Amino acid sequence: MSLIDKAGTYTLGNRQVKRLGYGAMQLAGPGVFGPPKDPARAVQVLQDVIAAGIDHIDTSDFYGPHITNQLIKQALHPYPSDLCLVTKVSARRDDTGAWLPALSPAELTQAVEDNLRNLGLEQLEVVNLRSMLDVHGPAEGSLETPLTTLAELRERGLIKHIGLSNVTPTQVTDGQKIVPIVCVQNQFNLANRADDALIDRLAAEGIPYVPFFPLGGFTPLQSQTLTEVAATLDATPMQVALAWLLARSPNILLIPGTSSPDHLQQNIQAAALEIPAAQMALLDRIGD
């Protein structure tokens, strides 16, 4: 059994994936814009991901844009049969790297076609519709029109499964009336736990929850309690933060990202980290 296997598995779409995956966002340049400084290093990270047994990679064609998908294709195509590639649509980048909504039927169709071309696929396994009603977090509002567009692309065979990202519980409920939702990807970590109830609801429905920014994203998690717990477990604070998420609920799938081979290995070690109940109780209070 590899380290990754110790995290267990969960159903995503119609396959079982290991609960510790990989997020490709950081493979692009600064600000997730432009190419990386060292493309060969990025390719090495992706190859190390597969060598470690990871079978779930999260990406998007608006990372770069196009950069991370092109790197994934360069490094891994033809893909292992057990690899689940998950992408997301609904945003575009301007010449300065700003994130802009791209939710019209034409823009979503183009995004799906771009993902297919740059990943070298005939069908995207999972496409997450990311709500852009508020770039910085979930905001109520109808996603019926863009989700219906993706459902139509699914009927055409360009998409196998559909998920939602940056959404509210109401939008999940509404989305399920349009098309089966196979995953929800929102921000969630030790210090940002607004989705506690949603995670439990999805677990009861057998739907995976995929926290983005599991380590805090552009502002890494900082907590004296986290640092102290990590010291008692002979682990790094970030390893403890990942292990806490794995322990939080069996339907949580992790996609920590990195552009460093060494950091990748550190993240992988979190799969085998067990947090005793007393330390879990301390960590649980961080988000209160």
Cα 123 to Cα 59, 63, 86, 128, 226: the distances in Å are 15, 19, 11, 14, 41
CB atoms within 10 A of CB 125: 20
Q: Shortest CA distance to 153 belongs to which of 184, 179, 120?
A: 179
CB atoms within 10 A of CB 52: 19
Say which of 10, 22, 63, 209 is annotated catalytic: 63
Sign of the alpha-carbon torsion through 200, 205, 211, 212? negative
Strand partners, 212: 187
Helix (H) or strand (E) holding 200: helix 196-205
Give 141's contacts (C-beta < 8 A, 6+ positions apart): 131, 133, 171
Dist CA 184 CA 148 (whole Å): 17
Exposure string over 246-257, b if 16+ CB within 10 A, otherwise e: bbbeebbbbbbb
User: Reduced to 3 states, what is the DSSP secondary structure of residue 49?
Assistant: helix
Q: Is 63 an annotated catalytic residue?
A: yes
Sign of the alpha-carbon torsion through 13, 204, 180, 145? negative
Active site residue ranges: 63
